[in-house]
Chain A
């Protein structure tokens, strides 16, 4: 594969990632947000495979495989199970109107591209537009968390945000050391499990959403 082709594919995947991010923000039901974040992880696994083919870096194959297994399959499955166990009625509860959130998301994307355009030298170190897309995904993930009141949508936002980091990390021309990537994914799994347990624990004791508890103030 020529460098040009890889650039084009990565840029196209970046566009798809941003599109799934919009789906997550605009999702009216928690299931849709979970499917969207699973699709996003799938695109990142594909990006990993493409970069592995292009650079001949074996580590990237492993990382793409783990991403596919963990972030596109296991974590969405865990979220799905939690939704079923919780038996939630009000699933998605935006703090501000979805339209306003989308406008903010667009603003973030524009600013991210502006910011990266001012950096010349990095072009050699990171493939295509992976840096601005990564920044935009990370920040919109935080936006999704800040504008949602329920615990599960906050978790989805968190995973989406981390996807942005993975995308950029993969696209650094030399790749991240394998052992580090594995450690990071392990942390993500553990954090997700701990969060899931907390959500279920609060649901079973006080029948409330953990993210809506607001006794501690001042």
Chain B
């Protein structure tokens, strides 16, 4: 097996981004896009084997352990699916004038720059590098959200960049405060300072008071980026206005990268002031998110906004899993990160195709999708069923585990609220999805055959979604277990 140094990983999408600037031809751009993503995915898989056999790897500011690996694999898989989907999506978007051909290369370059910054966030060992990369994701994705160039897109992009930049500066403040605590406890200075693994070694000796303040700042900061309520206000706008492939990346991976940041700080806080404090904070944010998202999901008419609010709910569920804590809670939260990432990207893909076909994102206009696009309609229904938490799909499994963790810890009030909201959302989501997929389509709806590339991208994700619902492969289970030991 060839040795792949860690720093090659973020370099792959970065080089891909630069290559994009050399041509204007759509076919060549798409080819570079798919090839770059495929290289990233295969390197991530090679790295996964290496970590499984010989433990965490580290080079300078970067480090990969089992916890980071879960997120890295999610980034790589979704990037590949997005690249495949984009081939056909782009052809259609160019035809109707949603994308302009002279801007294509900068679009592709930005997408890969965005992926590169996300790869750095999951590989970062140094908490400062984590922050810098996280702000980097904001800058690159803000441009992408406003990419269609119309007023709504720019409004969403502005709200996004202002709210998340201010939010994440809280995250930097929290990082500085925890660094100060570590410095007071005898952390060595120099370039290795701020390293998560070095701070973890000292964590039990840190001053609990200052770590508490730092953790709250970090929680608000990275929580803003993760879309936890009440800091989620930018999320439905940004996720609904972005071009569909970007929406899938935002909802599928970006908010998960922010969650990884929270988990890193949670472990420090748990070691310094006992697990009860960070778990309590996560529990509160998780519950607020689940409750706040519900009415908006029910009353929504815009399908992409619906999916955006739905991400708020699911980030809340992950936070609940972490908040219930213990082995089961953490395991469930990590599994839910993967399940929701895959499923939500699939849902955005399917919704994007439906929107293109009907020329509207209003769910009252989209009717009878199954008649005009049998495969796409089926995939949308599958995604909706899974998102609603129907067995045997993957999200049902992780939601059930979150619930079990809560029961194990005796958080009865939290469980009651969680269950009530999940049931309401279940009904609301299936109502929305059912009315889109079934029924008679209007006569004016385009009946042209479905194109292969978006379907291939979607099927890839659907296959993973179904597989993870039926069984968790032993190698993946082992990865999750080892990651749980790190995050717990």
A residues neighboring B (CB under 8 Å): 115, 118-122, 124-126, 131, 134-135, 138, 141-142, 145, 151, 154, 158, 161-162, 164-165, 168-169, 172-177, 179-180, 183-184, 186-187, 190-191, 194-195, 198-199, 201-202, 205-206, 210-211, 213-216, 218
Among A125, A179, A215, the residue within 8 A (CB) of B183 is: A125
> Secondary structure of the B side of the interface?
helix
Known A-B contacts A161-B166, A172-B179; A151 and B184 likewise in contact (beta carbons under 8 Å): no
Interface positions of B from 184 to 211, Cβ below 8 Å from A:
184, 187, 189-191, 193-194, 207, 209-210
Closest to B134 in A: A187
Tell me whether A180 and B128 are in contact (CB under 8 A).
Answer: yes
Give me 16 A-to-B residue pairs in the complex whose CB atoms sit less than 8 angstroms apart, sorted by A's number: A120-B207, A125-B180, A125-B181, A131-B180, A158-B162, A168-B176, A174-B193, A175-B189, A177-B189, A184-B132, A184-B172, A187-B139, A198-B161, A202-B158, A215-B155, A216-B237
Give min CB distance, A111 to chain B, whole Å.
Answer: 12
Tell me whether B154 and A198 are in contact (CB under 8 A).
Answer: yes
Give min CB distance, B71 to chain A, whole Å.
Answer: 21
- Does B299 have its Cβ within 8 Å of any Cβ on chain A? yes
Closest to A199 in B: B158
Give min CB distance, A150 to chain B, whole Å.
Answer: 12
Tell me whether B169 and A216 are in contact (CB under 8 A).
Answer: no
Tell me whether B184 and A215 are in contact (CB under 8 A).
Answer: no
- Does B173 have its Cβ within 8 Å of any Cβ on chain A? yes
Q: How far is the CA of A30 from the CA of B63 in the complex (A)?
A: 45
Give min CB distance, A181 to chain B, whole Å.
Answer: 8
Q: How far is the CA of A155 from the CA of B142 in the complex (A)?
A: 15
Which residues on the A side are within 8 Å of B166 (C-beta)? 141-142, 145, 158, 161
Tell me whether A179 and B191 are in contact (CB under 8 A).
Answer: yes
Tell me whether B152 and A215 are in contact (CB under 8 A).
Answer: yes
Among A164, A191, A202, the residue within 8 A (CB) of B161 is: A191
Give min CB distance, B304 to chain A, whole Å.
Answer: 11
Q: How far is the CA of A213 from the CA of B159 in the complex (A)?
A: 10
Tell me whether B132 and A180 are in contact (CB under 8 A).
Answer: yes
- Does B475 have its Cβ within 8 Å of any Cβ on chain A? no
- Does B136 have its Cβ within 8 Å of any Cβ on chain A? yes
Known A-B contacts A122-B181, A122-B207, A134-B173; A177 and B128 likewise in contact (beta carbons under 8 Å): yes
Among B173, B189, B194, the residue within 8 A (CB) of A138 is: B173
Interface string of B139-179 (1 = CB under 8 A from A): 10011001001011011111101100110011011001101
Known A-B contacts A174-B193, A191-B135; A202 and B183 likewise in contact (beta carbons under 8 Å): no
Q: How far is the CA of A20 from the CA of B438 in the complex (A)?
A: 61
Which residues on the B side are within 8 Å of A198 (C-beta)? 142, 146, 154, 157-158, 161
Among A131, A194, A206, the residue within 8 A (CB) of B151 is: A206
Which residues on the A side are within 8 Å of B169 (C-beta)? 138, 158, 161-162, 165
Tell me whether B179 and A119 are in contact (CB under 8 A).
Answer: no
Tell me whether A211 and B151 are in contact (CB under 8 A).
Answer: no
Give min CB distance, A79 to chain B, whole Å.
Answer: 15
Known A-B contacts A165-B169, A191-B138; A122 and B180 likewise in contact (beta carbons under 8 Å): yes
Q: How far is the CA of A179 from the CA of B193 in the complex (A)?
A: 11
Which residues on the B side are within 8 Å of A172 (C-beta)? 176, 179-180, 183
- Does B11 have its Cβ within 8 Å of any Cβ on chain A? no
Which residues on the B side are within 8 Å of A169 (C-beta)? 176
Tell me whether A184 and B128 are in contact (CB under 8 A).
Answer: yes
B residues neighboring A (CB under 8 Å): 126, 128-129, 131-132, 135-136, 138-139, 142-143, 146, 149, 151-152, 154-159, 161-162, 165-166, 169-170, 172-173, 176-177, 179-181, 183-184, 187, 189-191, 193-194, 207, 209-210, 213, 236-237, 240-241, 296, 299-300, 305
Q: How far is the CA of A77 from the CA of B228 in the complex (A)?
A: 35
Which residues on the B side are within 8 Å of A206 (C-beta)? 151
Which residues on the B side are within 8 Å of A180 (C-beta)? 126, 128-129, 132, 194
Among B143, B157, B162, B184, the residue within 8 A (CB) of A121 is: B184
Which residues on the A side are within 8 Å of B184 (C-beta)? 121-122, 124-125
Tell me whether A176 and B176 are in contact (CB under 8 A).
Answer: yes
Which residues on the B side are within 8 Å of A168 (C-beta)? 173, 176-177, 180
Closest to B158 in A: A210
Closest to A172 in B: B180
Which residues on the B side are within 8 Å of A162 (C-beta)? 169, 172
Tell me whether A194 and B126 are in contact (CB under 8 A).
Answer: no
Closest to A178 in B: B191
Tell me whether B176 and A213 are in contact (CB under 8 A).
Answer: no
Tell me whether A165 and B173 are in contact (CB under 8 A).
Answer: yes
Known A-B contacts A177-B191, A187-B136, A191-B138; A213 and B170 likewise in contact (beta carbons under 8 Å): no
Q: How far is the CA of A17 from the CA of B98 in the complex (A)?
A: 47
Tell me whether A191 and B191 are in contact (CB under 8 A).
Answer: no
Give min CB distance, A108 to chain B, whole Å.
Answer: 14
Known A-B contacts A172-B176, A216-B155; A177 and B207 likewise in contact (beta carbons under 8 Å): no
Tell me whether B139 and A154 are in contact (CB under 8 A).
Answer: no
Which residues on the A side are within 8 Å of B142 (C-beta)? 194, 198
What 18 new A-B contacts, CB under 8 Å, besides A177-B128, A216-B236? A121-B184, A122-B181, A138-B169, A138-B170, A138-B173, A145-B166, A176-B193, A177-B189, A179-B128, A183-B129, A195-B158, A213-B154, A215-B152, A216-B152, A216-B159, A216-B241, A218-B299, A218-B300
Tell me whether B193 and A210 are in contact (CB under 8 A).
Answer: no
Q: How far is the CA of A56 from the CA of B129 in the complex (A)?
A: 25
Which residues on the A side are within 8 Å of B213 (C-beta)? 115, 119
Which residues on the A side are within 8 Å of B240 (C-beta)? 216
